[in-house]
Amino acid sequence: MNIDARGPRFGAAVTTVILAAVLITGSAWLLAWQTLAFALGAAGGVGRSPYGLFFRGVVRPRIGPPTEFEAPEPPRFAQAVGLAFAVIGLVGYTVGPEWLGLTAAGAALAAAFLNAAFGYCLGCEMYLLVRRVAVRAE
């Protein structure tokens, strides 16, 4: 079943704000929250992440029914990619080196911003590339 395409983009906007705050404050706790959000999105799909639940329960009823849908697999894969960067960033912020945390959080921020501002999902594109390669290998 396809999902409302606005949901992952909303989640990316929230993620952009959270990761920008992480870079500004250097807060490992805030990055830990974002890591949890990525983990829930990767495990249960973007609709089960905290931002997806907020979108479905609060935002979507106020903006009307969806007009554009997308498959849930690419955004879910993107959440897993975000999780990997967040875990690396968390390691950098908690045990060092700090540049590792800054770099990983910055990379995740760049990807989230691209999705939020322009609707371009790097993790989704990675998913589609991996699928094409896998199909050709068969």
Give tens-digit pLDDT for 22-60.
999 999 999 999 999 999 999 999 999 999 999 999 999
Tokens 């009307």 belong to residue: 64
For the chain, domain boundaries: 3-137
Tell whether omega for the bond before 97 is within 30 degrees of 0, i.e. cis.
yes
C-alpha to C-alpha distances, 101 to 20, 79, 95, 116, nearest whole angstrom: 13, 18, 9, 22
pLDDT-derived band of residue 138, with 50, 70 and 90 as boundaries? confident
